[in-house]
Structure 1
Amino acid sequence: MRYIAAYLSAVLSGNECPNSKDLKKILDSVGIETDDEHINKVINELNGKNIEEVIAQGNGKLASMPAGGAIVVSVGASSAAEKKVEKEESDDDMGCGLFH
């Protein structure tokens, strides 16, 4: 992500085709060590593309992914039976157990 952020920073500052030297300068300015392989991969993937379109495509992909949601937990028969017994026992004393 840091390499993509550096690339986007360069583009947003007016450099339409940032190179590895540009990205290294940005990352070095905030104390981040760079890896040439990662920098070159980002440049090769994004160079010549309209950044706004790339971001819009990414947002579309993120929107189609499920986020959060309910977690289904199956309760076994023995667990359900224990809960039923506990409920019955607590109903028998009608709350009087609180005053003992």
Structure 2
Amino acid sequence: MKVVAAYLLALLGGNSSPSAKDIEAILGAVGAEADPSRVSLLLKELEGKDILEVIAAGKEKFASVPSGGGGGVVVASGGAAAAPAAAAAEAKEEPKKEEEKEESDDDMGFSLFD
């Protein structure tokens, strides 16, 4: 992902065809290492393609991927059915214990101005 992000940053910066050296420079500027095999693979795959068309095609493919979850939150609507659920929720909550303050040696036994 960081190689793709660096490629896109180079495009946004006005470089219409970023090279491996450009991508490595961008990643190096933030202290990240660029894997040369990933950089070359990305450049090979995007060679001669319009990035906007590649993104649009990816969005179409991604739209068909199911991303919903079945574990939604169930809300009780009051009455007798809600009482056991509320009691169970209260039982699960444990009282918060105050953390014991440990003695710390903030000044490590001496003062800076002594």
Tell me the residue number matched to 2:61.
61
- 2: CA distance between counterparts of 1:54 and 1:45? 10
Cα deviation digits, residues 41-69 of structure 1 (max 9, x gap): 01111122111111111111111111123
Tell me the residue number matched to 1:18.
18
- 2: CA distance between counterparts of 1:49 and 1:15? 14
1:7 aligned counterpart, secondary structure: helix
Report the number of matched residues. 72
- 1: CA distance between counterparts of 2:26 and 2:39? 12
Letter aligned with residue 48 of structure 2: G
Name the Cα RMSD after superposition. Answer: 1.5
User: Where has structure 1 moved over 2 Å in runs of 4 or more?
Assistant: none
Q: Which has the higher contact order (CA 8 A, sep 6+)?
A: 1
Instruction: Give TM-score, length-normalised by structure 1.
Output: 0.66
Equivalent pairs: percent with the same residue? 48
Q: Which structure 2 residue ranges, 5 or more long, are not aligned?
A: 72-114
